[in-house]
Amino acid sequence: MRKHPVLGRIADYVFAIVFILAGWQLTAMAVHNPVLPGPFDAFPMVAQYFDELWPAFLVSLYRVVVAMLIGTVLAIPLGLACGRSPRADAVFAPILYFLYPLPKVVLLPVLIVLLGLADAPKIVLIAITVFFQVLVTVRDASKSVPEQSILSMRSLGASRLDIYRHAIVPATLPELFTALRISSGTAVAILFFAEGIAGSTGLGYFIVNAWALLAYPKMFAGIIAMALLGVILYELFDVAERRLTRWRRV
């Protein structure tokens, strides 16, 4: 029997949630330490601290979405240019090789000193990280567009812009979305680190503050909210990919 696309997906998620909760509960029982409460203790905390948690969630969501948007919007044109122009690649590739492996998170102190403790250093730090991940992916994906597709388009009288619009950009979309999904995980991790160290808002701060107060159930409410943030971003990119790359699932 063929699986219903929506119901099947919901069933997959239900299975995953049950699996994770069971694993969590078993681990909590095995560890038997207040630092790791089971899901039945942690989830009621989300409702209990909702009034504090919700504004922190919105602040974190805003930071991560804006940062990913900036990083992606800057990386796509540069990635396409490097991928399709050997001259641009010759200029930027050496810079990229030096900067890509650098853990961007070490720049946080510099950014805090330069930009203060508000949203800016967190947004810039995440944007830089996403920028490099998207740049490398788009550059490599745009290099792999078959030359025959380009020739065929040129024979139809396509301008350079037409070739980008109809051939190169769509060809890079699957890899772009893979990069965005991976980046969303990295972005949330950096967000936690940046909010935990600098400032007094956001989920990262919420978790670290609860940890410092030894309020472990409250800390877990923050962890659940942060996980939810990651799932929302991941799912957003997944939905966008499914809509924009329909041709891959035929």
Partner 1 sequence: MGEPKLRLQGVSQVYEGARGETRALQNMDIDVAPGEAVAILGPSGCGKSTSLLIAAGLRVPTQGAAFVDGVRVAGPRLNTALILQDFGLLPWKTVAENAGLGLQIRKTPKRERAERVARALEQVGLADFADAFPAELSGGMRQRLAMARALTCDADLLLMDEPLSALDALLREEMQDMLKRCWCEQGYAQVLVTHSIEEAVYLGQRIVVMSPRPGRVVHVLENAEMQQENWRDADLFFERCRALREMLRDIVAKEEVAHA
Least distance (Å) between residue 159 CB and partner 1: 8
How far is C-alpha 6 from the chain's CA centre?
24
Task: Please report whether residue 155 would count as binding partner 1 according to CB under 8 A.
Answer: yes
Interaction with partner 1 in 169-208: which residues (CB under 8 A)?
Answer: 170-171, 173
| Binding window for partner 1 (CB under 8 A); candidates: 22-30, 31-39, 158-166, 199-207 | 158-166
- The residue within the footprint of partner 1, chosen from 70, 99, 140, 166 (CB under 8 A), is 166
Site string (231-250) toward partner 1, x via CB under 8 A: --------------xxx--x
- φ, ψ at 214 (rounded to 5°): 60, 25
Which tokens go with 195?
């909010």
| Binding window for partner 1 (CB under 8 A); candidates: 21-29, 63-71, 128-136, 164-172 | 164-172
Site string (44-83) toward partner 1, x via CB under 8 A: ----------------------------------------
Closest to partner 1 by CB, 34 vs 146, is: 146
How many residues in the chain? 250
* Residues in Cβ contact with 129 at an 8 Å cutoff, skipping those fewer than 6 apart: 71, 104, 105, 183, 186, 187, 190
By C-alpha distance, which of 177, 183, 172, 178 is closest to 80? 172
Least distance (Å) between residue 151 CB and partner 1: 6
| Interaction site with partner 1 (CB under 8 A) | 146, 148-149, 151-159, 162, 166-167, 170-171, 173, 245-247, 250
